[in-house]
């Protein structure tokens, strides 16, 4: 079967690394992004130069109409989806819970929780044998923050990832008998741009001494785990998590 993967937030970071590795493993790839067209095009160009198939689609995955348009474009240009990786996410500057206002909380929950549900909905409607699909996989990019709590930095973000863990468990049970596996990775301390959004570009290096493995991780190391969960090698795994946090 032709493998088609939609990866949200694939212009940069973990999503981009997953897109390139997925293409190398034979998937036709939809590189979704929000606004950084140049970065998305760069990911797509690299895949095409290596002989792969990829399209870039700008869509704000926190908006239902945009998500529907994204999946329609994939239907038309790549064919039936077989895998979804929910990776798009944001951080806000570090602060304590007693400093956070409702506007910030709404931005974090709207950007980090709602998109995973909306994209999972569109993927299930296409992949579930309940709707005539041939099955498939969903991999959610959660975070070790859901276990650790991110005290003093961003408990709101950590809580949004707690919701993703619960989505992973609940949805996996909902669709397990319909040919769909749903799993998650829980990375931490990965060298990407997201730490700049949190107001601390050098965060991974600052925390290195506190990580049992004494180093940060790479986006490729996360991509490898995501694509293992998406592969047939993980055929009996659903509702489960791979922690990628250097032992933390
Ligand atoms: P990143 O380098 O900052 O990339 C974020 C990506 O998400 C970009 O492609 C961005 O698109 C996209 N995006 C953000 N909001 C979007 C929206 N509403 N609609 C569509 N795309 C959107 O982040 P990253 O570090 O790779 O993070 C990827 C995922 O891993 C996130 O869910 C994050 O929470 C999780 N994670 C990261 C770490 C880490 O240490 N880096 C640890 C644990 C979990 P544009 O380029 O267009 O802005």
**Residue at 248 is within a domain:** no
User: What are the tens digits of pLDDT across the range 151-190?
Assistant: 999 999 999 999 999 999 999 999 999 999 999 999 999 9
Ligand 1 touching residue 8 (CB < 6 A): yes
Q: What percent of the chain has pLDDT over 70?
A: 100
d(CA 159, CA 150) in angstroms, rounded, equals 9
CA–centroid distance, residue 141 to ligand 1 (Å): 9
CA–centroid distance, residue 162 to ligand 1 (Å): 16
Domain that includes residue 40, residue range? 3-242
Q: Is the pLDDT of residue 13 over 80?
A: yes
In this structure, which residue's CA is closest to atom 3 in ligand 1? 194
Q: Residue 115 in contact with residue 221, Cβ under 8 Å?
A: no
Active site positions, annotated: 157
In this structure, which residue's CA is closest to atom 2 in ligand 1? 13
Residues 6+ away with beta carbon under 8 Å from 213: 246, 247
At 228, list the tokens.
């293992």
**Residue at 247 is within a domain:** no
Domain count of the chain? 1
Ligand 1 touching residue 35 (CB < 6 A): yes
**Residue at 114 is within a domain:** yes
The alpha-carbon radius of gyration of the chain (Å, integer) is: 17
CATH number of the domain encompassing residue 68:
3.40.50.720
Task: Write down how long the chain is.
Answer: 248
Ligand 1 touching residue 89 (CB < 6 A): yes
**Residue at 24 is within a domain:** yes
**Residue at 21 is within a domain:** yes
CA–centroid distance, residue 13 to ligand 1 (Å): 7
Helices (H) and strands (E) in the chain, counts: 10, 7
User: What are the tens digits of pLDDT across the range 84-139?
Assistant: 999 999 999 999 999 999 999 999 999 999 999 999 999 999 999 999 999 999 99
Nearest residue to 182 (alpha-carbon basis) of 89, 112, 84, 88: 84
- The reported pTM is 0.99
Backbone angles phi, psi at 126, to 5 degrees: -95, -35
């Amino acid at each position: 079967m032709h493998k088609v993967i939609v990866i949200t937030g694939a212009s940069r970071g973990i999503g981009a690394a997953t897109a390139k590795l997925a293409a190398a493993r034979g998937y036709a790839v939809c590189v979704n992004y929000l606004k950084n067209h140049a970065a998305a095009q760069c990911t797509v160009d690299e895949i095409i130069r290596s002989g792969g198939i990829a399209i870039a689609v700008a869509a704000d995955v926190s908006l239902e109409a945009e998500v529907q348009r994204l999946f329609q474009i994939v239907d038309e240009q790549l064919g039936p989806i077989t895998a979804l990786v929910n990776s798009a996410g944001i951080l806000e500057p570090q602060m304590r819970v007693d400093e956070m206002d409702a506007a910030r909380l709404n931005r974090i929950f709207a950007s980090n929780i709602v998109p995973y549900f909306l994209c999972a909905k569109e993927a299930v409607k296409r992949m579930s044998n309940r709707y005539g699909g041939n099955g498939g996989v969903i991999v959610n990019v959660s975070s070790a923050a859901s276990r650790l709590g991110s005290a003093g930095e961003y408990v709101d973000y950590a809580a949004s990832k707690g919701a993703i863990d619960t989505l992973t468990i609940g949805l996996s049970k909902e669709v397990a008998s319909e040919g769909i596996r749903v799993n998650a990775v829980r990375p931490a301390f990965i060298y990407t741009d997201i730490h700049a959004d949190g107001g601390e570009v050098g965060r991974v290096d600052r925390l290195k001494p506190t990580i049992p493995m004494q180093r940060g991780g790479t986006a490729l190391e996360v991509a490898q785990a995501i694509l293992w969960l998406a592969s047939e090698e993980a055929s009996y795994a659903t509702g489960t998590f791979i922690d990628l946090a250097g032992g933390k």
